[in-house]
Structure 1
Amino acid sequence: MRDDGVTPDTKDWTWVLGRRCPECGFDAASVDPLTVGAQVRAMLPRWVAALAHPDVRVRPEPGVWSTLEYGAHVRDVFRVFDGRLASMLTSDDPLFANWDQDAAALDADYAHQDPRVVARELVEAGESVATRFDVVGPGDLGRPGRRSNGSVFTVRTLGQYFLHDVAHHLHDVGA
């Protein structure tokens, strides 16, 4: 358990690349990687609406993030994946820096951020990563990159994995 009472998610979610997520129903393998940018943009209004709810700071149960915390996390996911995709498109088989999402939540104090600021930053970061995915062409889809834990991605699977994360968290907040 973290200092803020949330149990860290230590699952390796790369399995979503091979089968539909039973929690949210998302089928990452069916995602056309050349449409990731458009799909991100389609989700942004749902995030903005969720972050405008009056109970945005309320945790649905002990140990579970509030909508605000999930929104701040997704904003940071957009930023991290924007950087990872940029490195995959400009470098040969880059090794991604480790990103501890739980440490990031504590360090940035997600629970006490301003939801209006988070919504604005989430949209900006979402537009940025969507634009980066927009420039991906068919010849880029096989370019590799590696996470610090050894998981290997291609531009194709990075986009699919990333899109699941964003959609799954919409499911988490009921948006």
Structure 2
Amino acid sequence: MAIVPDTKNWTWVLERECPECGFDSSKTPAAAVAELTRANVARWPDVLARPDVAERPNADTWSALEYAAHVRDVFRLFRIRLALMLAEDDPAFADWDQDATALESRYNEQLPEAVSADLVSAGLAIADDIDAIPGDAWQRTGRRGDGSVFTVDSLTRYFIHDPTHHLHDVGAGE
């Protein structure tokens, strides 16, 4: 059985607690996201050192390695989106099919050590970028192809739910 693509619109996490992982973006100040990102990044190397890191718990759930490769790519993608929002007026974000990326990039065949190093590097880079957001830029906007509009504030709070949720998915959540 193949992984069923996730087609949900997760923007609701900006309004209330996630019932699956317990994270509440609505109560998370955007100014806290950089440190939350660093704390998240610090947990992934242990996940990627597991002997069963590439084993799927069942046929329709990603392995911890696949989740980690996805989180690495989320760090990279949101860094690009944040930079666009800070450089352009109301940019439109390129669409991203996370499931196609997982297949095309062969997430589950990647070396855990390489994924770990790249995830840490990408996570620390976006955390530094968030720390460097000028005080007058938090209300700048950007939008996805589905019409969802974000401010820098809401984008950062939306972003941090993803890696937090995926630590929960791999049994490493708080």
Tell me, yes or no, if structure 1 residue 170 matches structure 2 residue 167.
Answer: yes
Distance in 1, Cα, partners of 2:106 & 2:116: 16
Which residue pairs with 1:91 in the alignment?
88
Matches of 1:139 and 1:39 in 2, distance apart? 22
- The equivalent residue for 2:125 is 128
Per-residue deviation, residues 44-66 of structure 1 (Å, max 9, x unmatched): 12111101101100101111000
- Partner of 2:28 in structure 1? 31
Q: Extract structure 1 runs of 4+ deviating beyond 2 A.
A: none
d(CA) in 2 for partners of 1:86 and 1:63?
34
Q: Where does structure 2 lack aligned partners over 5 or more consecutive residues?
A: none
Q: Which residue of 2 aligns with 1:12?
A: 9
Q: 1:65 to 1:111 in 2, by over 3 A?
A: same
Tell me how far 1:138 sits from its aligned partner: 3.1
State the distance in 2 between where 1:74 and 1:39 align. Answer: 14
- TM-score when scaled to structure 1? 0.96
Which AA in structure 2 matches 1:138?
G
TM-score (norm 2): 0.96
Aligned length in residues: 172
What residue number does 2:50 align with? Answer: 53
Give, in whole Å, the separation in 1 of the partners of 2:20 and 2:12: 13
**Unmatched segments (≥5 aa) in structure 1:** none
Q: Secondary structure at the match of 2:162?
A: helix
Q: Give the superposed CA RMSD.
A: 0.9
